[in-house]
Structure 1
Amino acid sequence: MPRLFWKFFTTIWLTLAATIAVIIVIVNLFQAVPFGRELELRQQEFVLNLTATVLTMDGEDAAARFVRTSEGTLPLGLTISMATESGACADENTAETRSILKDGICYRISVSGKASVVLDYLALLMPWIAIFVSSTISAAALARYLIRPVVHLRDGLSALAHGRFDVRIGDKMAGRTDEVTALAHDFDSSAARLQELQDSQQRLFHDVSHELRSPLSRLQAVVGVLRQSPAKLGAMLDRMDREVERLDALVGEVLTLARLTARSSLPLKTQTLDVVELLNEILGDAAFEAQARDVSITTSVDGVFLADVEGELIYRALENVVRNAVKYTAEHSRISVLCETTADLLKIRVTDQGPGVMRDELERIFQPFSRGKDAVPRGGYGLGLAIARQAVERHGGRVYASLPDTGGLAITIELPRKPTAHGPASNQG
């Protein structure tokens, strides 16, 4: 059962046990029985009624013997006497007296209570006082136990509402190990994720601005040259076309990444495709482009893997990984592509012979506009691997990078036959 349940259960149980213990201690200390006064009054009433019955039925001697026996067994101050006052038998009976008319004689039967009034009231109030005190203590303890983390959670949520995503409350739980602590750690994870998204968004804005500024600056330079030398119109128009194409390509990739991010919670529009056949088409095109740098590449892989995928997304993912390898591999080198299939999973590994990346950059290269520190710029904007990861993870697969022993960089794609609701929790190289 949940830990919080057991803490509440234990607190309430200990409260009841402490209440009973307090009552027992007070009884033994003051010899005061709870509800003892009521018990004594009932005993007096019973003895008075019984004595009156004996007197009425058996006479004075039998009643006197009963009084002696009763006092020897349970002393209540029971006495029987003949009333001398006139009209005594006409008086109403009280809790401590009975008036009986027998053979023309008025008898007065009475008891004398010996209990202390203070002890009587103590005995009467003792259970309620013990319950009140113990309940107050336990309620205060439970309230304090619950309110403190709730206050921390409220402060944390208030900080998030004001855009402060660096707040953390897990370390304020003072060693607790219950559901409230789990909630606090979930809050910390959510805050960390929001901070990561905010940082990623700010970085994306910065990188997009930076990437847009370069072709725009070159276009401005072209315009300046044309104003100074109109005769260079032909060459400058060609240069402007290239810069416009770069801008169009950049905007297209940014829009693709934005669509993938925005549609991450929407269902996929899947169709059954042979992913291996799709890969072979991409490899054929990549081999033609690789000839310019004297790079050889695996042009075909064997096998069939029919999967329910959104074709455009998977095509972009495979194409970006393969083209990234062609772009960064060394000249006169080779790119190997291997496929492994199981009943429900396709594993594609693309290995180049380029400069690779540092081990601590294996995850960073999947972030938008990120490249390895030692990577030589060869066109592109550092969005290819980010798009590939988003596309594959939308299908419940994963993409990760590793460093082969022979050098270079290996990108591995794991694609399930049936898409799942969520991608993997983490990617490992």
Structure 2
Amino acid sequence: MVKSISAMLGLPVPSRLFWKIFGSLWLAIAAIAFCVDFVVDAMFQSELRQSPDLSIGYRAELATTLVATTLHHADVEGTRQLFMEWSGKRELPVLVVNARGEDILARTVPAPALAQAVAMINQDSAERSVQRVLTPSGEAYVLFVPLLLLPASAPHQHVYRYAESTRAEVLAMALVSLLFAAGLTWYLYRPIRHLHDANRRFAAGDLDTRVGQLIGDRRDEIADLGRDFDDMAGRVQSTIEAKSRLLHDVSHELRSPLARMQIALELTRQTPAKTGEMLERIAYEIDRLDKMLGETLTLSRLKSRSERPGEECFNLVELLVDIVEDARFETASNSRQIEFLAHDDVLITGRSELLRSAIENVIRNAIVHTLDGAAVIVDLSSATPGFVTIRVCDGGAGVPDEELGALFEPFFRGRNGEKAQGYGLGLSIARHAVEAHGGQVCASNIVGGGLCVSLILPVTTLDE
């Protein structure tokens, strides 16, 4: 039945969790309502025992005070006029009784109620629903609201007195608690249902699944859970897509050297005299494949954070000096120069060999794209407190601005691709190595020509 109603209304079928929350809330709310009803009933029953024939409380007090004020200032005729012209939904139930026990409107005066009212006045009770008033003519009247008014029709219990809960009142409380519990349950259950459905769709392969728009503007722990799910889904999607792109790029890059090796083997069969030359070519391609696969493995480990920095503390300036000296040795045969600018020593915590590889990749990339006769500048500065910046600027032509953001992507060789000797993994490895140390990498063009790559790393103080 529940499923058919939900289908007709276009709503999801409530689950076991919905009924558990709904049942618990409804029972709790109903129990609280009936407990409050019981306590209030007990309080009024206590008042009833104290004055079983009088209506007391704020309603009776307001009515008595109104009539008492009118009687005090307008005498008996003014009070009769008040009763006659009264336009309220209910009649004024206040009896105005003189010393002879007669009401000014000739209404029946219950003797027990009058006796209790006189007794409370004589006891100087603080209860304002019973009052004695002197008229301007000097006559005294006792004002009170009896529990039972006896008009010409059958006796009835006055509404000013609390009565025990009727069946209709019990059903009303049950209905109100039912609606409140259902609304609150749906408010709590709906985002959980969205999370459940999103999790199943995501597990089924729909990586674009998100729940942020479905949850809306909630500001609670369930909304935080939804935002955490979206964040997790985004990260997982980015990781899977990055691995897919990496696999595609690796597969694409493997085709060229494999094709060249196949050509070399075919030429060896056709021209035995070139066997030695072709074997050298095959060995060269094997070395390149080995290097590419090694760099790909390093990049994959850095992306998965399986290679994390250790607790080794080293001097970054000494590391840069060694790297620059190795680079100068490699460029000794050409006219390219390498200038190194550094001031004070800088301490870094992490893996020195990992950072060495990253910085070497950036410097070698700068050397490749530096024009003959120009210089590669390696500058170490500490402009930002707590961080050190390594700037490697080449003497080349720079890159188009639209390609700056893609320089650190795997297998990207957009700028002067014909000069590139590797597979476009060096800068990507450098970026992930620096990020693994809590830093960041960026690139910018130099006015007048050239590219500058900045590696920003957190420094370590002696206190640390």
TM-score computed with the length of structure 1 as normaliser: 0.68
* 302, 305, 308: which one aligns with 2:346: 305
For residues 212-291 of structure 1, the aligned pairs below 5 Å read 212-262=254-304, 264=305, 268-291=309-332
Match of 1:391 in 2: 433
**Cα 1:290/1:126, change in 2 over 3 Å:** farther
**Cα 1:395/1:289, change in 2 over 3 Å:** same
**Cα 1:393/1:36, change in 2 over 3 Å:** closer
Match of 2:9 in 1: none
Post-superposition offset of 1:165: 1.0
Match of 2:408 in 1: 366
For residues 148-227 of structure 1, the aligned pairs below 5 Å read 148-227=190-269
* 376, 385, 393: which one aligns with 1:335: 376
Post-superposition offset of 1:248: 1.4
Cα distance in 1 for residues equivalent to 2:214 and 2:182: 20
Match of 1:318 in 2: 359
Does structure 1 conserve the Cα–Cα contact (< 8 Å) formed by 2:390 and 2:455? Answer: yes
**Cα 1:266/1:260, change in 2 over 3 Å:** closer
Post-superposition offset of 1:259: 2.8
Does structure 2 conserve the Cα–Cα contact (< 8 Å) formed by 1:268 and 1:310? Answer: yes
Q: Does 2:336 match 1:295?
A: yes
Q: Counterpart of 1:326 in structure 2: which amino acid?
A: I
- 3-state DSSP class of the match of 1:165? coil
**Cα 1:281/1:44, change in 2 over 3 Å:** closer
Cα distance in 1 for residues equivalent to 2:386 and 2:311: 16
**Cα 1:130/1:414, change in 2 over 3 Å:** same
Match of 2:92 in 1: none
**Cα 1:162/1:149, change in 2 over 3 Å:** same
Cα distance in 2 for residues equivalent to 1:384 and 1:230: 38
Post-superposition offset of 1:35: 6.7
Post-superposition offset of 1:316: 0.6
Post-superposition offset of 1:253: 0.9
Post-superposition offset of 1:412: 0.7
- 3-state DSSP class of the match of 2:331? helix
Post-superposition offset of 1:299: 4.4
1:18-52, Cα deviation, whole Å (9 max, x unpaired): x89xx9xxxxxxxxx957995698479899xxxxx
Cα distance in 2 for residues equivalent to 1:68 and 1:170: 69
**Cα 1:292/1:203, change in 2 over 3 Å:** farther
For residues 47-66 of structure 1, the aligned pairs below 5 Å read none
For residues 6-45 of structure 1, the aligned pairs below 5 Å read 42=49
**Cα 1:115/1:41, change in 2 over 3 Å:** farther
Cα distance in 2 for residues equivalent to 1:142 and 1:161: 29
Cα-Cα RMSD: 3.9
**Cα 1:190/1:373, change in 2 over 3 Å:** farther
Please identify runs of 4+ aligned residues in structure 1 that moved more than 4 A: 33-47, 112-122, 124-131
Cα distance in 2 for residues equivalent to 1:324 and 1:287: 14
Q: Counterpart of 2:249 in structure 1: which amino acid?
A: D
Q: Does 2:176 match 1:134?
A: yes
Q: Which deviates the most, 310-319 or 129-138?
A: 129-138
**Cα 1:73/1:242, change in 2 over 3 Å:** same
**Cα 1:70/1:153, change in 2 over 3 Å:** same
- 3-state DSSP class of the match of 1:362? helix
Post-superposition offset of 1:69: 4.6
Post-superposition offset of 1:128: 4.7
Match of 2:105 in 1: none
Post-superposition offset of 1:173: 2.5
Cα distance in 2 for residues equivalent to 1:186 and 1:328: 44
Cα distance in 2 for residues equivalent to 1:317 and 1:128: 77
Match of 1:70 in 2: 112
- 3-state DSSP class of the match of 1:123? coil
TM-score computed with the length of structure 2 as normaliser: 0.63
**Cα 1:135/1:374, change in 2 over 3 Å:** farther
Q: Which residues of structure 1 form unaligned runs of 5+? A: 1-10, 24-32, 48-66, 76-111, 420-429
Cα distance in 2 for residues equivalent to 1:335 and 1:185: 46
Post-superposition offset of 1:135: 2.7
1:375-420, Cα deviation, whole Å (9 max, x unpaired): 434211111111111111111111121222233221111122249x
Match of 1:28 in 2: none
Q: Counterpart of 1:387 in structure 2: which amino acid?
A: I
Post-superposition offset of 1:258: 2.5
Cα distance in 2 for residues equivalent to 1:237 and 1:372: 31
